[in-house]
């Protein structure tokens, strides 16, 4: 079976492992002449830091994600790869946000790191990664 990979979704959370997964995804994109979408999903916490302004909170989330996306776009592997950036702040959970974007965008592949910022060593896969592997309707590649 030959895979026709043209659209790759890469969830990013600013962790070292998510940057490593992004670097791997850039190489896969080059090999397949595919487009990459960098995705950051943030849910609004029950007790946001900015009670007076959810717009201010969302602006901070977008600024932080933009910094991460720009870091990835400066990787040597990013040269000649088409990169799109998406920030999703409307999801009820991180897993739901990733799976929803993947389905709506008809992605061919999700490339994700095994653990995010929490880096809980006792878990083989982080809860977000495990949820994405469980619920995604496209193939998921977990990169160590």
pLDDT of the chain along its 144 residues, tens only?
457 899 999 999 999 999 999 999 999 999 999 999 999 999 876 665 555 677 788 888 999 999 999 999 999 999 999 999 999 988 889 999 999 999 999 999 999 999 765 544 444 457 899 999 999 999 999 998
Give domain status of residue 1, yes or no: no
Give domain status of residue 2, yes or no: no
In which domain, by residue range, is 30 found? 7-142
Give domain status of residue 109, yes or no: yes
Number of domains in the chain: 1
Give domain status of residue 15, yes or no: yes
pTM reported for the whole predicted model: 0.89
Give domain status of residue 82, yes or no: yes
- Asked if 111 contacts 141 with a C-beta cutoff of 8 angstroms, the reply is yes
For residue 47, the model assigns a pLDDT of: 61
For residue 122, the model assigns a pLDDT of: 43
For residue 6, the model assigns a pLDDT of: 97
For residue 130, the model assigns a pLDDT of: 92
The CATH number of whichever domain residue 38 belongs to comes to 3.40.50.620
């Amino acid at each position: 079976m030959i895979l026709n990979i043209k659209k790759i979704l890469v969830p990013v959370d600013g962790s070292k492992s998510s940057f490593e997964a992004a670097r791997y995804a850039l190489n896969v994109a080059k090999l397949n002449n595919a487009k990459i979408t960098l995705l950051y999903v943030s849910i609004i916490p029950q007790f946001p830091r900015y009670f007076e302004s959810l717009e201010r909170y969302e602006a901070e989330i977008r600024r932080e994600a933009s910094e991460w996306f720009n870091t990835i776009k400066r990787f040597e592997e990013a040269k000649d790869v088409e990169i799109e950036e998406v920030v999703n702040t409307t999801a009820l959970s991180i897993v739901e946000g990733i799976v929803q974007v993947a389905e709506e965008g008809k992605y061919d592949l999700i490339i994700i790191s095994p653990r995010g910022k929490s880096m809980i060593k006792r878990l083989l896969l982080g809860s977000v990664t495990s949820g994405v592997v469980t619920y995604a309707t496209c193939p998921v590649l977990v990169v160590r």
